[in-house]
Amino acid sequence: MSIVAKAQRNRIHPHKFTLWVGIGSILMMFAGLTSAYIVKRNQANWVTFDLPIAFWFSTAAIVLSSITVYMASNAFKERAMGRYRILMSATLALGIIFIVLQVIGFKQLLELGVTWKSNVSHSFLYVIVGLHALHVLGGIIALIIMSVKAFSIKTRSYSIVPVDLISTYWHFVDILWIYLLIFLLMIR
């Protein structure tokens, strides 16, 4: 019986497995987009552009949010629910700040005449950064749900699985953004 129990403990939770499959799919999508970007940039009509300063501030926000979600996960494991609530709320606020700064960055681009229709290089920027922002919005929705549950009087679940899921996903979108930012800076 103990061998069966050990085998059960070593199995990955189905939700975690599903998350990793989803992350793999997202990685493949962005690998395809960045590969197409590299191929297309060799065209004669390719226009280079500078990224708006707001993208740098949004990077700071998402990196800070990755730190707060890590600390929230540790607080949950320690059953320090007050600290967990505060840190999850901070992660949610920083995620929203990231999106707001991305919108500001796109407004700055529009003011410079960089629209998604003006050039294929601009179209790639809008698609790549916009798709990442949509994935961050998905994470924000999950963070809202987690925050509501954390502050709910009725719900007292101490399962670490949802916390691990949001933490893993949030770190993923953070690392993905850093990769995309470096990619857009290096491959212009």
pLDDT, one tens digit for every residue, the chain (188 residues):
566 556 566 788 899 999 999 999 999 999 999 999 999 888 888 888 889 999 999 999 999 999 999 999 999 999 899 999 999 999 999 999 999 999 999 999 999 888 878 788 888 999 999 999 999 999 999 999 998 988 887 756 678 999 999 999 999 999 999 999 999 998 87
- Evaluate whether residue 161 is within a structural domain: yes
Q: What is the pLDDT of residue 112?
A: 86
DSSP state of 52: P
Contacts of 20 (CB under 8 A, 6+ apart): 12
Q: What is the tally of structural domains in the chain?
A: 1
- Evaluate whether residue 152 is within a structural domain: yes
- Evaluate whether residue 27 is within a structural domain: no
Cα 176 to chain centroid, rounded = 7
CATH number for the domain harbouring residue 136: 1.20.120.80
Q: How far apart are CA 93 and CA 48, in angstroms?
A: 33
What is the phi-psi region of residue 50: left when phi exceeds 0, alpha when psi lies from -120 to 50, beta otherwise?
A: beta
Domain that holds residue 140: 55-186
- Evaluate whether residue 79 is within a structural domain: yes
- Evaluate whether residue 159 is within a structural domain: yes
- Evaluate whether residue 109 is within a structural domain: yes
